[in-house]
A and B are shown apart, each in its own frame.
Chain A
Amino acid sequence: MIVLESLTKRFDNRTVVDNLSLHIRPGEFFGLLGPNGAGKTTTIRMLMTLARATSGRIIIGGQDMTRNAMALKSKIGLVPQHINLDGELTARENLDMHGRLFGLRPEERKSRITELLEFVEMPDRANEPVRKFSGGMKRRILIARALMHRPQILLLDEPTIGLDPMTRRRMWDLVRKLNTGGQTILLTTHYLEEAEALCNRVALMNKGKLVELGTPEELKTKVGPFVVETDDGGLRRSHFFPTREAGSLFIQDLQQDGKGSSVSLRASNLEDVFIHLTSGDSLSMEEGTSKRDSKTINHRAKDF
């Protein structure tokens, strides 16, 4: 559905996206993860022709994406990171404007607006100017707007940034409902639990490069499905284990040595994968290198 071929973006001497190749399949809920500055937003902007690739190709549905590729643009819905609704206009007018730009007929626009305001649970706020809305409400209108023209592909750039945990979970429910309609979704986020909750497959980016690609489960297995965290004089360490038993044994050892205070054993999550990645290691289990098949990462307090 979406194919990126050796996509590269350079600003002056800085390489923001470095030789990125990806293939996102139809109907997939795909997550693009990475720390700030990893190149996620730039990738989305290149997909929408808001930024021009220095080299490489973007092929969507078999066609090259350009600023004048109107047929392609009408298949894509964008939920940008920056809330770019017209604050002077009401929610209804913002949606109407989008429908007009995408060439929808008046009666179709009207029914679609009603349907979508219902979908994002804001039918009672339709005629209020958007500038009066809270951040979460604006985000919901932003999603409704992107759906006006029934896009086959939805690009969500950090859709829950700056939202409180409750509102975030409501957004997830909304977004999950979309994918069941068969749309291909590309989501960028640096909230790892978000990717874990929503995505079928994730790509981890760091410094513009694709570092890992797989299902959240695969990545967690790769780093070690269980993790023991220890506190070693202010230095937090994560030790990864292939099984829960191996982790428990490790803790027993620690306790025998009298260092068993403030340790925890839990299932690893994408965050561990992420920290592993940004600490510069590759994601392969080093079998049997340290005791009990553990793999240890140290990260200093300054990293947080």
Chain B
Amino acid sequence: MEQQAAKNPSISPLWAGISTILWQEYLIFSRRFWKNTASTMVTPILYLFAFGFGLGRGIRFEGVSYLEFVIPGIVALSTMTSSFNAVATPLNISRLYDKTFEEYLTAPIPMISLTIGRILAGAFRGMFSGLVMLALTMVFGVHLHIGGLFLLLLFLNCLVFSGFGFWAALTIQSHSEINKFNAFVISPMSFLCGTFFSLQNIPQFLSAFLYILPLTHTTNGLRTLSLTQTFPLDSFIALTLYALLFFGLGLRACYQVEE
């Protein structure tokens, strides 16, 4: 048996872990592709309809149409919820109900590969819904400047909330607690972090608080990139710090889970 292990020294356990998780997620994703894509499209369409066409066709806001203003916010918020839910819900179920998570815990892979693999998989799912959303806005005839930096910032946002979902799913003790995260963290952020309005219009002390939240930085950064094409350095820094924070918390949770 020991020869068996020595026979394949070139497949590193780190890569084995990450690639297996991505492969498994891809299998599931491709199997439910149309169902997934359709359900991914519902929320953005509703937002576009209500806040864009219903409310904002004629309204000008900070020098642009309200639709152009609100779309970066909606992209930020829909990638946030889909990254978070792509990790938090299935991981929570696999940990507490089907116990499929134990298959990973007992495998000879380092915990860091489990953390990287799961967070990346969630971020890809979030990114997919972001791209679907952007494609929809083009179909609806909205013109936005979307470049590499825009997508990079969007991906950072996905990493932040996928990491947050990973950490949440590993630390809570029952499935219903995921709803608490949704109710007390995710939903308030979607409304508060400048998605639908400009933070310049609200009192100083309140906006100072909102600048602590990661989604504020995504929304502002994406909006800056799409409307003015200037580089939002502070957004990149803030999101990178948040992504690292949740990665670290998630990794630590991997060692502490099910003790």
Residues of A within 8 A of B (CB): 45, 48-52, 67-68, 70-76, 78, 80, 82, 84-89, 93, 97-98, 100-105, 108, 149-152
Classify the secondary structure of A's interface with B. loop
A-B pairs with CB below 8 Å: how many?
Answer: 90
Chain A residues near B19 (CB, 8 Å)?
A: 100
Decide if B100 touches A50 in the complex (CB within 8 Å).
Answer: no
- 23 A-B pairs in the complex with CB atoms less than 8 angstroms apart: A48-B102, A50-B102, A50-B105, A67-B105, A67-B111, A68-B111, A70-B108, A70-B109, A71-B108, A73-B106, A74-B5, A76-B106, A84-B98, A84-B100, A85-B100, A88-B27, A89-B27, A89-B28, A97-B24, A101-B108, A104-B11, A150-B1, A152-B1
Residue from A51, A73, A87, A88 within 8 A of B107 (CB atoms): A73
CB B86 to nearest CB in A, in angstroms, measures: 15
CB of B96 to closest CB in A, whole Å: 11
Give min CB distance, B27 to chain A, whole Å.
6
State the majority secondary structure of interface residues on B.
helix
Q: Does B255 contact A (CB under 8 A)?
A: yes
Is B37 positioned at the interface, with any CB of A under 8 Å from its CB?
Answer: no
A55 to B111, CA, bound (A): 23
Nearest-Cβ distance from residue A99 to partner chain B, whole angstroms: 9
Of B17, B24, B99, B107, the contact of A80 (CB 8 Å cutoff):
B99
User: In the complex, A87→B28 CA distance in Å?
Assistant: 11
Question: In the bound complex, do residue A67 and residue B255 qualify as a contact, i.e. CB atoms below 8 Å apart?
Answer: yes
Q: How many chain-B residues does the 8 Å CB contact rule pick out?
A: 32
Which listed residue (A49, A52, A98) contacts B105, Cβ 8 A? A49
Other than A50-B106, A84-B103, A89-B24, give 10 A-B pairs with Cβ distance below 8 A: A49-B106, A50-B102, A50-B258, A71-B5, A71-B108, A82-B99, A100-B23, A101-B17, A103-B12, A103-B13
Complex Cα gap A150–B7 (Å): 13
Q: Which residues of B contact A108 (CB under 8 A)?
A: 8
CB pair B259 A101 closer than 8 Å: no
Bound-state Cα–Cα, A150 to B110, Å: 20
Residues of B122-168 contacting chain A, CB below 8 A = none
Chain A residue nearest to B101 (CB atoms) is A84
- Picked from A93, A101, A150, A152, the residue with its CB within 8 Å of the CB of B103 is A101
